[in-house]
Structure 1
C-alpha cells in the first residue's frame, strides 16, 4: 500500500476516478498505484502536479521500480535510507492496522517522539488492535556494543531510557504491552497486520542511514514469516519494560 499517495488523495479531496480522468488511465490502474505499483514517469509527474506533492515523497523507491519483478511478490518498496521514508508513511502504516501492531527496536525515538504515532497506537489499542512494543534493555551488553559500533557510546542507552519515559502515558492503555529485550538486533522490525517495514542494521552506521524494506505477506514465499518468527522469539524472551500499577506508570528500564 502506498500510504503517502493515499493520504495525499484524501487531503486533496480526490478519488480514484478523479485521478484516472486527469491521467487518462483506467481507474483500476490508479488502484494499483495505491496498492504499491509505481507509475510510469509521465504519470508520476501528472499525479505530483495534481496533488501538489513532490514525486520523491510519493514514490521514494521510483528509481528501483524496474527491479521489483525480480525481487518477488512480497517486496513492496525499498528505501535506501530510513530517513527517506516520509513520516506520513509511518503514520499511515500503523493507522492501517486492524489486528496487530508490533515494534522491535533498541530505542525507536524517531517514532515515540512523534505524538501522532503515539495517538495512533493508543487509538488502535482502544479499538481492539494488539499493540506490542519491544525496546532494548539499556543496561545490556548488546546495547553497549551497538553504541560503540555507531560511535555514540552511552548515548544509545540514554536514547532508550528517553523512549521509555515518552512511552509512560501509553502504559495504562488497554491492549498495549511494552517490554525490554536483551538481544542482538540485526533488524528493527515494524509490523502492521500482514505488512512489515524492516530497517536493516549495518555495522558502523546508524539505523537512520540504513535501508528499509517494505514487505507484504505472501503465501508464495516466506520472507515475512521469517521476520515474524524472529519478532515472536524476542517477545517471548523479553521482560516487562513499562507497567501500570495502582494508577501509576512505572518504568522497568533498569535491572
Structure 2
C-alpha cells in the first residue's frame, strides 16, 4: 500500500526519490519502495529522512512508534522509550485528550509541546471545561536549581530562556476555571505528564538534555506502585510552587 503521507511531504518540499535518497544515505530504489510499496525503513534511516523533510518520523511511518517497546518488568510499565525524542507528539496529545479527571504537567520548560502542537492550550481548556482539574508547574528561571541544570547540560542561559518562554505559552491559561499554573524552583529529577491513571515520566540524566533521556509510560494498576511514587513527587513540588498571577 503506497505511503501517501510520505509522497505528499516529498512533493511539498520538491524532493524526488533520488534527492531524498542522497540525503538519507540510501539507494533511490529504497525510497521508491517506501513511497510506492509502503515499506518502512530502519529507524536510523527513517529519522534522517524525516529530519530532511521536516516531518514527524512517526507520522510518516507509524509502524516505528512501537518499534522498541520494553519487556514489561512491572505491570505498571506500558512501554519504555530510549529517549524523549522517540516519543511521538501524538502520544502526549492523546494522553491529555483521554483525561477525564486530572492532568498534571511538571517540567522546567518542555516548550517542544507548544512548538509541535500549537493547540495545546485549547486542548487543556477543553478538558478543564469538561471538569478535568489541570495543574501546570514550570521552572522558575531565576531559581539556582534551574540555572545549575543549564550548566550541567552545557545549555548555559538557554534553559532559563526556555523556562520564560514556557511561562509565556501557559500564561493565557491563568485564571481559566479548572486550570492552575505555578512556577517551582526544585531540583527536577523527572519531568511528568499525567492524565488520570496514565503517566509519562521523562527521567533526567546528568549532562544530558531532556530530549536524550529515557521516558517511562506508566499505567496505575494499584496503590503504592511506581505510578503513585511519581504522582506523590508531583504533589510535593506543587505544594512548594508559587502561583502565577494573571
Q: Normalising by structure 2, what TM-score? A: 0.73
Task: Name structure 2 gaps, 5 residues minimum.
Answer: 1-39, 41-58
1:164 corresponds to: 167
Match of 2:205 in 1: 202
Shift of residue 170, structure 1, vs aligned partner: 1.4
What is the CA–CA distance in structure 1 between the aligned matches of 2:133 and 2:223, rounded to whole Å? 26
Partner of 1:99: 101
Give the Å deviation of 1:112: 3.0
C-alpha contact (below 8 Å) 1:60/1:85 kept by paired residues: no
Equivalent residue, structure 2, for 1:55: 63
CA distance in 2, matches of 1:186, 1:82: 15
* Cα separation, 2, equivalents of 1:222 and 1:173: 33
| Residue 125 (structure 2) aligns with | 122
1:84: which partner in 2? 86
Distance 1:154 1:127 in 2: 38
**C-alpha distance in structure 1 between counterparts of 2:89 and 2:144, whole Å:** 31
Name the SS of the counterpart of 2:165 in structure 1: helix
Give the distance between the partners of 2:133 and 2:68, measured in 1 at CA.
Answer: 30
For residues 82-115 of structure 1, give each alpha carbon's deviation from its aligned partner in whole angstroms, at most 9, with x where no partner exists: 0110111110010000000000000121123321
Q: Give matches, 1:89-238, under 5 Å.
A: 89-113=91-115, 114-219=117-222, 222-238=225-241
Shift, 1:220, TM fit: 6.7
CA RMSD of aligned residues (A): 1.8
Count of matched residue positions in the alignment of Structure 1 and Structure 2: 188
Distance in 1 (alpha carbons) for counterparts of 2:230 and 2:195 = 13
- Alpha-carbon offset, residue 52 of structure 1: 8.4
Query: Structure 2 vs 1, CA of residues 151 and 53 (structure 1 numbering), >3 Å: closer, same or farther?
Result: closer
Runs of 4+ aligned residues of structure 1 deviating over 6 Å after TM superposition are none
Structure 1 residues 146 and 52, CA, compared in 2 at 3 Å: closer, same or farther? Answer: closer
TM-score by length of 1: 0.70
Q: Which residue is equivalent to 1:38?
A: none
Secondary structure of 1:115 counterpart: coil
C-alpha displacement at 1:61, in angstroms? 2.8
Q: 5+ unaligned residues in a row in structure 1: which ranges?
A: 1-44, 46-50, 245-255
